[in-house]
Structure 1
Amino acid sequence: MLSILIPTYNYNALPLATVLSKEAVSLKYPVEIIVLDDASPNYAVENEHIATLPNARIVKLTENTGRSAARHRLAEESQYKNLLFLDADVMPVHTNFIEKYAEYFNTKGVIFGGITYKPEKPINTEMLRWVYGHEREKLSVAQRIHAPYSSLTTGCFLIEKETFLNNSKTITVKSYGEDLLFKQKLKEKQIPVLHIDNAVYHLGLESNQQFLKKSLEAVKTTVYLEETGELPNDSRKIQQTYLRLKKFGMLGVFQSFFAAFKSKVKRNLLSPKPNMRWFDLYRLAYYIQLKKKKSA
């Protein structure tokens, strides 16, 4: 009936698998939990214990393949029609988490329950990811349905096996931001995204430095996918802003303006009180820089 699929890399997936296994054994339909360790150098001992949980098993890779390939491998390993993908660093908000998704088994499309964050502030060196999550990802159902594809995050979603395999097998990008391509495929094929209230907490907060680096990597992935023709050049807000600046001949003006404040902006983003508008400008400046290099 349901395959719960959890890719993990350098993260202890045992707490999540334990919670899911506990609920799964109380249900009247079959549930399997498969965790795929994408060649992690750490947490091997903890993740080995997953195999001792009821309904659970672990698949270990010897070479890192990236999140998209890991999800595809998990789908191939699964035995049921309904697939529930979860990142290893999330935790269900509700104790009847699986049961709430069960209402949507065999639904054509993608079912997304939402992402939320603990209200307690983390340590100062993890504030950028926490603030970003609160301001950009922690959205109500009403907010998400206005932008069904862009508000989808792949940390937790339900999808039929055939639909997933048909839309993931050609995704070979390993860099951060590869989920952009999966969402674009859903949009192009008009595969609906249904938003419901069944959130998970995102617990795995990276350091400010790490998240800023990953965010720039996602910008780089955007430019790469544009070049390959896999992503339209106006599908994301950062692309749309770039096109408006270009239309009015303002790219050079923006670059000159930003250059004077770049160091100050970066200090803010790495501080305990990061500003999301400055975060957007920082990424936009990097996007413009990459586009300029490509056109040179």
Structure 2
Amino acid sequence: MSGSPTIQNAHWAKARPALSVLIPFLRDDPSQLLALLDREAEALGSVVEIVVMDDGTGDAALTARLTAQVQTMALPIRLITLLANEGRSRGRNRLAGAARGGSLLFLDSDMRPDSDHFLQTWAELVRQQAPAVAFGGFSLLQAPDEPRFSVHRAMATNGECIGAAERAKAPEKYVYTSNLLVRRDVFEAEGFDGTFTGWGWEDVEWAMRVSRRWPVLHIDNPATHMGLDTVEQLAGKYEQSAGNFARVVARHPDIVSAYPSYRVAKALKRVPALRQVRPLIKQVALAAWAPTKARAFSLRLYRAALYAEAV
């Protein structure tokens, strides 16, 4: 980690953690999440450590606030501040290299635990089973309920915020780095692919690779995803993700061909003048006057129309 300022608190040196919680952030403030996790410190002892990494935000005031918070926390914690952004995949690989636990819990900075024994549940799972991979799920229980986020809320509720039993039917599909446990030897054998850039699919592609070699466990230990997006923001992310989707299709055609997003994209590929139609689909999704269900359908259709070029 040459050239990356790193500090840790007084509890770091003596801790012998079994579980390392890895939290990357960029232009976010993870202080509230850290405070919530630290409430479990007494129950956990020194079996859990936290490694939090600023992936090139460049905010000296935020760094100073976090440095002060780290020093007062009861859990062992290390703060790494990167001077330049490395991206989602490389950043998480770097976090894993800075951790000491035999199991790694990837937790996004905009997540909020849905229970007061969130880390205890993960630590107990590690103690009892030490699974190769486990995903805890996420919810929108604490997320802001504002009209501008209604489309994202509807899409996430129907497609992502589902229980462990349902997720287990397609275990590699419902894996996100928002609340993901990985055993160290598994991660060292199969890290995130640093060639993925922008937004999307790097975690699912990783899960596809891993699922060919190890079982993927799903449990109900959710955290709330606080970072809901507007339709404009989601559309922008989908536009970024088309290249990543193409990589997934090229590498794992046997798995991804069963996904609805692939099948719809394949069908749309046959639509004449799709590139000219695509902006019209987006306009329906952006229309505030349209019903939420119609906007959500249009946004999913717009994503599939983008992906049609990759199938």
TM-score range, shorter chain: 0.7 to 0.9
TM-score (structure 2 length as normaliser): 0.81
1:5 aligns with 2:22: yes
Partner of 1:69: 90
C-alpha separation in 2, matches of 1:48 and 1:253: 56
Equivalent of 2:68 in 44, 49, 55: 49
1:152 aligns with 2:175: yes
1:185 aligns with 2:209: yes
Cα 1:128–1:83, aligned 2, differ >3 Å: closer, same or farther? Answer: same
Greater displacement, 109-118 / 25-34: 25-34
**Does the residue aligned with 1:148 lie in a helix, a strand or coil?**
coil
8 A Cα contact 1:209 1:270, kept in partner: no
C-alpha separation in 1, matches of 2:31 and 2:144: 24
C-alpha separation in 1, matches of 2:94 and 2:149: 31
**Does the residue aligned with 2:53 lie in a helix, a strand or coil?**
strand
Equivalent of 1:104 in 125, 149, 167: 125
Equivalent of 1:88 in 100, 109, 114: 109
C-alpha separation in 2, matches of 1:139 and 1:118: 12
- Tell me the CA shift for residue 92 of structure 1: 0.6
Equivalent of 1:217 in 240, 257, 273: 240
Cα 1:234–1:69, aligned 2, differ >3 Å: closer, same or farther? Answer: same
C-alpha separation in 2, matches of 1:260 and 1:29: 53
- Tell me the CA shift for residue 210 of structure 1: 1.4
**Does the residue aligned with 1:182 lie in a helix, a strand or coil?**
helix
Q: Structure 1, unaligned stretches of length 5 or more? A: none
Equivalent residue letter for 2:302: Y
Equivalent residue letter for 1:158: L
- Tell me the CA shift for residue 118 of structure 1: 2.5
- Tell me the CA shift for residue 70 of structure 1: 1.2
8 A Cα contact 2:282 2:302, kept in partner: no
C-alpha separation in 2, matches of 1:26 and 1:158: 20
C-alpha separation in 2, matches of 1:188 and 1:114: 21
TM-score (structure 1 length as normaliser): 0.85
1:24 aligns with 2:41: yes
Cα root mean square deviation, aligned: 2.7
C-alpha separation in 2, matches of 1:121 and 1:31: 29
Partner of 2:228: 205
1:36 aligns with 2:57: no
C-alpha separation in 1, matches of 2:34 and 2:142: 23
C-alpha separation in 1, matches of 2:28 and 2:123: 27
1:285 aligns with 2:308: no
Equivalent residue letter for 2:297: R
Q: Structure 2, unaligned stretches of length 5 or more? A: 1-17
Per-residue CA deviation, residues 26-63 of structure 1 (Å, 9 max, x unaligned), is 32442211101101134334433342222122001011
- Tell me the CA shift for residue 214 of structure 1: 0.5
Equivalent residue letter for 2:80: V
Equivalent of 2:159 in 127, 136, 147: 136
